[in-house]
Amino acid sequence: MIAEYNLEKPAVGPRPGRMLLVNRARMEGFIVFDFHDQYPVALRTLARWVKAGNIKYREDIIEGLENAPRAFLGLMQGKNFGKLLIRVAHE
């Protein structure tokens, strides 16, 4: 529901937030750290899947710390796709 606070027009499509609230229902998110004990196995498995091309990902990489404020503003406006990273140095 927080994501809808600043919308100029109501979002289209299903919006279960209000129904969850008024019916006192519960929606629980997936938090990766709930499974921290399985991290080593998951890291090896996921790395193998990425290397094999079974998992594809996207990163938006912005060059230079001086561009971080612009990148952050773009992040807040939804201009990035995937993980947003700031590269501060090539190593």
Residue 24 domain boundaries: 2-87
Higher pLDDT, 17 or 36: 36
What's the pLDDT tens digit per position in 32-82? Answer: 889 999 999 999 999 999 999 999 988 899 999 999 999 999 989 888 888
Comparison of pLDDT for 10 and 49, the residue scoring more? 49
**79 within 8 A of 85, measured Cβ to Cβ:** no
Tell me the pTM: 0.49
- Residue 36: the pLDDT is 94
Query: How many domains does the chain contain in total?
Result: 1
Distance CA 82, CA 91 (A): 23
Task: Identify any residues that bridge with 83 across adjacent strands, giving them in sequence order.
Answer: 59
- pLDDT category, 4, cuts 50, 70, 90? confident
